[in-house]
């Protein structure tokens, strides 16, 4: 492992699966919110569900802990984020991971370490 930690937002996981992206060696995390969002699409096929579950087996699923709940509350109060976004950001902060997301609202100082997919893939 490279020692780098990345928390992947839902939009990044979808892009990775759709485009069959290969990520560099690192520790990868997703929030339980991302897991729920991915597996609850109403038109999800069995093949897509299997692909998602295979992907999720290879990453750390970040469950809701007391620390994440407290950080989520602080983010919602201070940054006025939607609850799912606040949980995802709190999960990155508590796990000291860079947040990989295309959500531009989260690039505006919500999380200290945020990176877009293109920059992530280019190693920026």
Write down the domain spans for the chain.
Answer: 5-122
Q: For residue 2, is pLDDT > 50?
A: no
Q: Tell me: the pLDDT tens digits for 100-110?
A: 999 888 877 77
From the CB of residue 111, how many other CB atoms can be counted at a distance below 10 Å?
A: 22
Q: Tell me: the pLDDT tens digits for 70-96?
A: 999 999 999 999 999 999 999 999 999
| Region 5-122: CATH code | 3.40.50.1010
- Residues 84 and 37 sit within 8 Å (Cβ to Cβ): yes
Q: What is the pTM of this model?
A: 0.91
Q: Tell me: the pLDDT tens digits for 12-65?
A: 999 999 999 989 999 999 999 999 999 999 999 999 999 999 999 999 999 999
């Amino acid at each position: 492992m490279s020692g780098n930690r990345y928390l992947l937002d839902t939009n990044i996981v979808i892009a990775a699966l759709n485009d069959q992206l290969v990520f560099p060696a690192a520790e990868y995390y997703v929030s339980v919110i991302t897991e729920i969002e991915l597996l609850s699409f109403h038109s999800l096929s069995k093949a897509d569900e299997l692909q998602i579950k295979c992907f999720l087996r290879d990453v750390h699923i970040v469950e809701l802990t007391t620390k994440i709940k407290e950080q989520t509350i602080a983010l919602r109060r201070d940054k006025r984020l939607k609850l799912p976004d606040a949980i995802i950001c709190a999960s990155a902060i508590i796990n000291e991971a860079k947040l990989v997301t295309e959500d531009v609202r989260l690039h505006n100082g919500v999380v200290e370490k945020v990176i877009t997919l293109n920059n992530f893939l280019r190693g920026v």
